[in-house]
Amino acid sequence: MKLKNCKKCNHIFVNNGQNLCPDCIEEERNNFQKIRDYLWDNPGSNINDIHQETEVPLKIIRQFLREGRFKFI
C-alpha cells in the first residue's frame, strides 16, 4: 500500500492512481456537475454568470476550461 499527498488539499491518502484524494475527487465531480447542469439550462452564459449562479470558484471553472472538459459549438 503506497501513500500519497493530495495535490489539492495535501492530505495523505492511499494511492488511487490519481493525484487527488477521494474527498477532493468528489468535490471536483460535484463542481463539474453544477457547471454542466447550469450550462444545460443557460447556454451561452459567461464565466462570471456561471461563477455567481453555481458558486464554483473562478479558478476551478478556468481549470475545467483549460482541461477541455467543456465543448462549445
pLDDT tens for the 73 residues of the chain, in order: 799 999 999 999 998 888 999 999 999 999 999 999 999 999 989 999 999 999 999 999 999 999 998 776 4
Closest residue by Cα to residue 59 from 20, 10, 67:
67
- Provide the strand spans (E) within the chain: 3-5, 12-14
Residue 72, pLDDT score:
62
Q: Which domain holds residue 31?
A: 3-67
Residue 70, pLDDT score:
79
Cα separation, 56 vs 9, whole angstroms: 17
- Does 73 reside within a domain? no
To the question of pTM greater than 0.95 for the whole model, the response is: no
- Does 72 reside within a domain? no
Residue 73, pLDDT score:
46
- Does 32 reside within a domain? yes
Task: Look at the chain and report how many structural domains it folds into.
Answer: 1
Which DSSP state fits 19?
A: S
Residue 22, pLDDT score:
94
Cα separation, 11 vs 3, whole angstroms: 10
